Amino acid sequence: MKAPGLNIKELAQQVAERLEELALVSDEPGWLVRTFLSPASARANALVGGWMREAGLTVREDDFGNLTGTRQGPPGARKLVIGSHLDTVVDAGKFDGPAGVLLGIAAAAACPDLPFTLEVVGFSDEEGVRFQSTYLGSRAYVGKISPEELALRDAAGISVGELTAARRAAGFPEAGADLENLMGYLEIHIEQGPVLEEAGLALGVVPGIAGQTRILAGFTGQAGHAGTTPMPLRRDALAAAARLVLEAESQAQLHPPLLATVGKMEVLPGAGNVIPGQVVFTLDVRSPDNTAREAALEHLEQFGAAEAAARRLAWHWQVKQSNPAVPCDAGLSARLTEAVAAGQPVVPRIFSGAGHDAAVLAGVGPAAMLFVRCRAGLSHHPDEYASPEDLAAALEAVVRFVLSLAASPYV
């Protein structure tokens, strides 16, 4: 089918309406959750794939559930990829991920004649809810999935390798894009923070993505009777964990823009009249500066060890995931900044504290990221919202960016 011939404002309105429709595609009733290779993800791919076809794109879904819509350029043409993810967190908003994919499709519809190949991608696993991993979709797309990732198992005991093998047996092609002639990757994403709203601006350009390390840590002491064990004889795991939480907070306060969060903690045996014998908790540390992040982690690991020694506890520290900071491509970001500057007086540079598929794509070619203002900076929440006007501003900038690459390709 031909591109519908809508103008930018109409296309952006269509994106807003499609985001509402896509948000109804959920694995659970009453809220939005769409995880890697789930039934809802298959339905979302069918819906979005239809919109890709409407925009004149050739649709492919691979064994990892990545959905691509491609408009092939002339033989030997270079390739521009516009993408984001279609999976969500639990009780998600409607915009985190899908907004970027649908704006990419709208940009493809708005630019029907390009001298290069345009590929719009909906990656299948950015949030990592099902396998506690991230970027499975984009890592498969760039051909970097490791044996460790294939061995990951979900709550039901099914591995990534088993799932994707079954999909190949069912006829889905193997993931892996042709990136030999990649000119660049653009990701459009809601900001997920309050900077643009504070500045009163619709758009910002992302100079890089903060590095992040996720730790699973814990103290093991001795559970005991809360009424009969004198304080000096206790081996209280929670008291040590509480000190570690506050130390993480003070490290972050001392070294901005470092961020440190303990978001989950399990206390065992978990009774009001029992001394906590074991505590397991997560620690999430992020910074655009790799040295600062590593220094904070080293400090906190030693702090925990010292606390454990003083309280006669065992100290556990396991790095579950570590991704270095990733700079976006300066030249491609400059082209994007020019495109944004045509529509607003200043273009803020905002480092992304959240991970994005752009971090993976930056490993194989030039990557740039556009942030769109979201209400109250709210994300990973059902009230997440970006206005149709801001979606239109984003689409206008992206179309300008794409046309500038058509006029003079990025090297």
Cα–Cα nearest to 179, from 52, 81, 63, 72: 81
Please report how close the Cβ of residue 8 comes to Zn ion at its closest, in angstroms.
24
Query: Quick one: tokens of 142?
Result: 């760039």
Please report how close the Cβ of residue 129 comes to Zn ion at its closest, in angstroms.
12
With a CB cutoff of 8 Å and minimum separation 6, the contacts of 357 are 83, 84, 85, 123, 126, 135, 137, 138, 187
Please report how close the Cβ of residue 96 comes to Zn ion at its closest, in angstroms.
4
Please report how close the Cβ of residue 138 comes to Zn ion at its closest, in angstroms.
11
Bridge partners, 215 (sequence order): 283, 319
Please report how close the Cβ of residue 189 comes to Zn ion at its closest, in angstroms.
6
Of residues 96 and 125, the one with the C-beta less far from Zn ion: 96
With a CB cutoff of 8 Å and minimum separation 6, the contacts of 170 are none
Of residues 190 and 397, the one with the C-beta less far from Zn ion: 190
Helix (H) or strand (E) holding 333: helix 330-341
Of residues 209 and 237, the one with the C-beta less far from Zn ion: 209
CA distance linking residue 268 with residue 276, whole number of Å: 6
Cβ(118)–Cβ(58) below 8 Å: no
Residues that bind Zn ion (CB under 5 A): 96-97
Of residues 97 and 184, the one with the C-beta less far from Zn ion: 97
CA atoms within 13 A of residue 249's CA, in its CB half-sphere = 8
CA angle 149, 278, 263 (to 5 degrees): 55
Bridge partners, 235 (sequence order): 222
Please report how close the Cβ of residue 188 comes to Zn ion at its closest, in angstroms.
11
Q: Where are the beta strands (DSSP E) in 150-192?
A: 182-190
Of residues 23 and 405, the one with the C-beta less far from Zn ion: 23
Q: How far is CA 69 from CA 41, 101, 106, 323, in A?
A: 16, 10, 12, 28
CA distance linking residue 383 with residue 386, whole number of Å: 10
Of residues 123 and 401, the one with the C-beta less far from Zn ion: 123
Of residues 140 and 296, the one with the C-beta less far from Zn ion: 140
Please report how close the Cβ of residue 127 comes to Zn ion at its closest, in angstroms.
7
